[in-house]
Chain A
Amino acid sequence: MIRTSLVLLCCLLTLPALASSRVLATGGATSIEGSAGGGIVPWAVINGYGSDDEWSIQAFGTRVAVDDFTLHAAGLGYSWDNRWELSYARQQFKLDTLGGQLRQDILGIKYRITGQLLYTALPQISLGLQYKRHLDFDLPALVGARSRSGVDLYLAASKVWLDAIAGRNLLLNGTVRATQANQTGLLGFGNEHSNRHRLMFEGSAALLLTHQLAVGVEFRQKPNRLAFADEQHWRDIFVAWFVNRKLSVTAAYADLGDIAGLPSQQGWYLSVEGSW
């Protein structure tokens, strides 16, 4: 294990410059699925602060504690050239009231097609893919999910308007996602009838109060395909503190709606991200 890590480290060190030239906060936070974004929505931004010919690695840990459930998410990311982003996340969803847990792995890749978040009139536009695989599929299968794994494909557009409101910079993001997932995959993929993708809209707005502090809101439309219980849209309100280019902390209050028949799941979200 140590040997592998050392070899990996040596490989990383032979790559182009490790530097962080981009402006603070332009890497966003890391979403619960491992992709750079807000907390629940992937944005068009590439994680970390690497610019052209630079790369960075990220690590994150997130905990969302709502009334009857607790989600733990943790993962790693690698970005280069402010063009590509690779990510891995493990989610553990604890059923505090019902008992048991649901886990899934998420592999993500994101490609920036065009645009520069801060500089171009055109928004920054990225295409992303998330491959999700459930590790405790018995329960999702029992409630009607068809498949253990699924693929989300999304197109995201993000732009920052400098000096937009009271001298502050405003970030708007819109994401369209094609998904098969029930409760983002935590309840498997598809239903008895179909495993087809559905198009969902997700959006975020954030205002940078200072170079280091942002406040914002997010919305994530969700399908409702399993007959056993209603699935509802997610939303949150957040504050993110970019301590420096290496560390950021995000806190949010999230409303995840009904989950698995338990109504109105609300609670706190806390996430820490490191970037090198």
Chain B
Amino acid sequence: MKTRLLVACALLLALGCSQTPSQSLYQQLGEEAGIAAITDGLLHQIEHDPLIVGHFRDTDIPRFRRLLIEQLCELSGGPCQYSGATMEESHTGLHLTTRDFDRLVNHLITAMQQQKVPYSAQNRLLAMLAPMYPEVIDR
């Protein structure tokens, strides 16, 4: 019995040390506070990027922030439900180009780096966002 407990503890420790999906992406992103910080970092980057800030001229930033946090939370397996429009709808009229998309990806990576999100978790999130490319571009 004692041995079994020890083995179980060792296993738990091993799992805890490796970055296996035992920790959900939501947890790896730092849960609600971490996702809010990543979102704020991204917004800061956008605000200081003259090449894309123009697209967000007519955007209600507090609402955009709240919806983005909701979406990242839901995507990463957190206890939230995204209440915004579909990707196609929400990007219609923004006229985002592939260059804008590239820049947004870079800004998101920078924001995640600033929050010290592990590289593997960054890639897990990017893998979920990348397929949205055709729904977001040229609308």
Contact = CB atoms under 8 A, between A and B. Distances in A.
A197 interface: no
A22 B97 CA distance: 12
Contacts of A22: 102
B130 A167 contact: no
A167 B99 contact: no
Interface in B99-117: 99, 101-103, 105-106, 109
A143 interface: no
Contact of A167 (B51, B101, B123): B123
B124 interface: yes
Q: Assign chain B's interface to a size class.
A: 20 to 34
Interface stretch (A37-45, A118-126, A128-136, A251-259): A118-126
Given A116-B133, A119-B130, A167-B19, A51 B99 contact: yes
A21 B126 contact: no
B109 A51 contact: no
Contacts, number: 60
Contact of B109 (A121, A166, A167, A211): A211
Most chain B Cβ neighbours within 10 Å, of A21, A121, A166, A210: A21
Given A54-B99, A210-B119, 4 more contacts: A23-B109, A118-B130, A167-B124, A168-B123
A169 interface: yes
Most chain A CB within 10 A, of B120, B123, B127, is at B123
A52 interface: yes
Contacts of A17: 51
A interface SS class:
loop
A211 B109 CA distance: 10
Nearest to B133: A119
25 contacts: A17-B51, A21-B106, A22-B102, A23-B109, A51-B102, A51-B103, A52-B97, A53-B97, A53-B99, A119-B101, A119-B131, A119-B134, A120-B133, A120-B134, A162-B126, A162-B130, A163-B123, A163-B126, A163-B127, A166-B120, A167-B19, A167-B120, A167-B124, A168-B119, A210-B119
Interface in A116-168: 116, 118-121, 162-163, 166-168
B42 interface: no
